[in-house]
Amino acid sequence: MTASIQSRIAPFIAADVGGTHVRISLVTADGDGGAPQVLAYSKFRCSDYASLGDILAEFIASLGRHPVSVAVIASAGYPLADGTVITNNLPWPLSPRELRERFGLDAVHLINDFEAVANAVNQLGSSEVLQLCGPAQAAPGPLLVLGPGTGLGAAVWIPTGRRGVVLATEAGQAALAVGTELEMQLLQHMLGQRSHVPIEHALSGPGLLNLYQALCALRGAAPVHARPGEITAAALGGGDPLAREALEVFCGLLGSTVGDMALLYGVHGVYLAGGILPQIGRFLAGSRFRDRFLNKGSMREALERVSVKLVEHGQLGVIGAASWYLGSEFVEQ
């Protein structure tokens, strides 16, 4: 047996569990700090399964002779001390203990989904990002990773020596702040339906639908789209003014919110990752995103020095989950 084989990490499962899809990989790595190497990868639609356990069962069955003893799950939600997860976006409960017992695993590690993504962004190549504003290379310092998918996830990567640490957040549940007369009218409409309007009620896939429906109500028009993807397609197609206006509002709010978070967390770089953004990358680049991001009064000059990039990498969540595990004290060779 060669030295390289002896130092190889035992294959483990890395999963990225979102409100719409679950992405799972079988991963290994060289034991000397090597990058994650994906041996198998599958993507599942949450609504097609009664539980995460059923998805894992199908994936594990597909592995054949690749037994695993460890799973690392990156999930949207807030983990509690008893191992369960508070989440607004998953269609079923999530319990690491039940998964460990069902599959006879030695360990099931649960981390925040954007904590996982934050562990992966430094591995991205230039071909996997779209520069939106600021310098191409961020100055050394904290990084914000944010993405509107089924909800809005956000995490901050803080450099501390070789690897850095990640601050997981529930920023998507903070109150939505608006900055134009139209946005104020839309927020007022939403407040007529609920007492708290979180950021993700506007900045997520379902949030785009909420914006579109509120806009239709303000304009006195009947909604003709029932899914976020339909709104995006109609907006990009150019034949539906209300869909396009909803997407423009979405991009403006996103720019303003990202600017707020960049100042709140004192970051030097921002990565927008996952969710619906890769589908609207060119539209976002040509929208008011940059103007709203910089529109922070005397802090404009500071924000002009913040690098903002859109990530175009479908497996970033599982790579991040694997990277977190490989950098932890739990890893086994």
- Pairwise CA distance, residues 218 & 85, whole Å: 37
Amino acid at 3: A
pTM for the model stands at 0.82
181: β partners: none
Buried b / exposed e along 69-93 (16+ C-beta atoms within 10 A): ebbbbbbbbebeeeebbebbbbeee
d(CA 196, CA 3): 58
Give the model's pLDDT for residue 238. 87
pLDDT tens track for 170-228: 899 999 999 999 999 999 999 999 999 999 999 999 999 999 999 999 999 999 999 99
Q: What is the pLDDT of residue 333?
A: 57
Structure tokens at 98: 């039940």
Give the per-residue pLDDT at 127: 59
Strands across the sheet with 37-45, in order? Answer: 37-45, 21-28, 12-17, 70-75, 107-112
pLDDT in the model for residue 29: 87
Task: Map the chain to HEC letters.
Answer: CCHHHHCECCCEEEEEECCCEEEEEEEECECCCCCCEEEEEEEEEHHHCCCHHHHHHHHHHHCCCCCCCEEEEEECCEECCCCCEECCCCCCCCCHHHHHHHHCCCEEEEEEHHHHHHCCHHHCCHHHEEEEECCCCCCCCCEEEEEECCCEEEEEEECCCCCCEEEECCHHHCECCCCCHHHHHHHHHHHCCCCCCEHHHCCCHHHHHHHHHHHHHHHCCCCCCCCHHHHHHHHHHCCCHHHHHHHHHHHHHHHHHHHHHHHHHCCCEEEECCCCHHHHHHHHHCCCHHHHHHCCHHHHHHHCCCEEEEECCCCHHHHHHHHHHHCCCCCCC
> Would you give per-residue pLDDT tens digits along the chain (333 residues)?
444 444 778 899 999 988 788 999 999 988 766 788 889 999 999 989 999 999 999 999 998 877 889 999 988 766 677 767 767 667 787 888 889 999 999 999 988 888 888 888 766 766 578 899 999 888 889 999 998 988 898 989 998 876 778 888 889 999 999 999 999 999 999 999 999 999 999 999 999 999 999 999 999 999 999 999 999 999 999 889 999 999 999 999 999 999 999 999 999 999 998 778 888 999 999 999 999 999 999 999 999 999 999 987 667 888 889 988 888 777 765
